[in-house]
């Protein structure tokens, strides 16, 4: 899943779901059970919330990884040969931590995507990766933030 130079544009919808506000009338899945008092999320809604949180974490981790790599390249360019400075070592540690966070976020996204597809009854097209399918589904169906 490539998320370079992206921002999480579904934060308003995620906030609405977490607060229990009704879903938009054009949304293809029933994620809010309006029959219950107060309205509660359905199982698909719970997994959609997890999926959107994981997507936000993936985007944030990708941006952090890119930022750490850019900063490390900038400082390594002018580093003297030999023992690396303490600052460069610290930047390498920050880059490694960002990569680990990215791997954990991706793993959480894939788990939430698998459960969401299962619970929502979506059919994964043949020869299409789960993350690509779910990302395309989110881009197509989940309302974006209104500025």
**pLDDT tens-place string over residues 56-78:** 999 999 999 999 989 988 888 88
Tokens of 51: 């999926």
Q: Is the pLDDT of residue 26 over 60?
A: no
Report the distance separating Cα 144 and Cα 26, nearest Å: 13
The answer to whether residue 4 is domain-embedded is no
The answer to whether residue 146 is domain-embedded is no
pLDDT in tens, 108-123: 999 999 999 998 888 8
The answer to whether residue 105 is domain-embedded is yes
pLDDT, residue 2, reads: 45
Q: Is the pLDDT of residue 5 over 70?
A: no
pTM: 0.80
- Please report which residue ranges of the chain form alpha helices under DSSP H: 11-19, 43-76, 86-120, 130-141
Q: pLDDT confidence of 101, banded at 50, 70, 90? A: very high
The answer to whether residue 31 is domain-embedded is yes
Of 107, 132, 108, nearest to 1 (Cα)? 132
The answer to whether residue 52 is domain-embedded is yes
| Secondary structure element (H or E) that encloses residue 32, with its range | strand 32-33
Q: Compute φ and ψ for 33, nearest 5 degrees.
A: -90, 100
The answer to whether residue 6 is domain-embedded is no
Which residue range forms the structural domain that includes residue 34?
Answer: 11-141
Report how many domains make up the chain. 1
pLDDT, residue 56, reads: 92
Cα-Cα end-to-end distance for the chain: 26
The answer to whether residue 147 is domain-embedded is no
């Amino acid at each position: 899943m490539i998320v370079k130079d992206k921002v999480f544009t579904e934060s308003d919808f995620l906030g609405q779901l977490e607060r229990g506000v009704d879903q938009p009338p054009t949304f293809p899945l029933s994620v809010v059970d309006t029959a219950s008092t107060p309205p509660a999320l359905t199982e698909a809604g719970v997994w959609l919330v997890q999926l959107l949180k994981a997507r936000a974490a993936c985007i944030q981790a990708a941006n952090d990884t890119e930022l750490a790599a850019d900063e490390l390249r900038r400082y390594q360019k002018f580093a003297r040969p030999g023992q690396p400075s303490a600052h460069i070592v610290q930047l390498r540690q920050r880059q490694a931590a960002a990569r680990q966070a990215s791997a954990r976020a991706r793993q959480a996204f894939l788990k939430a995507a698998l459960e969401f597809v299962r619970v929502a009854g979506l059919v994964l097209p043949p020869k299409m990766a789960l993350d690509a399918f779910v990302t395309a589904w989110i881009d197509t169906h989940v309302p974006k933030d209104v500025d």
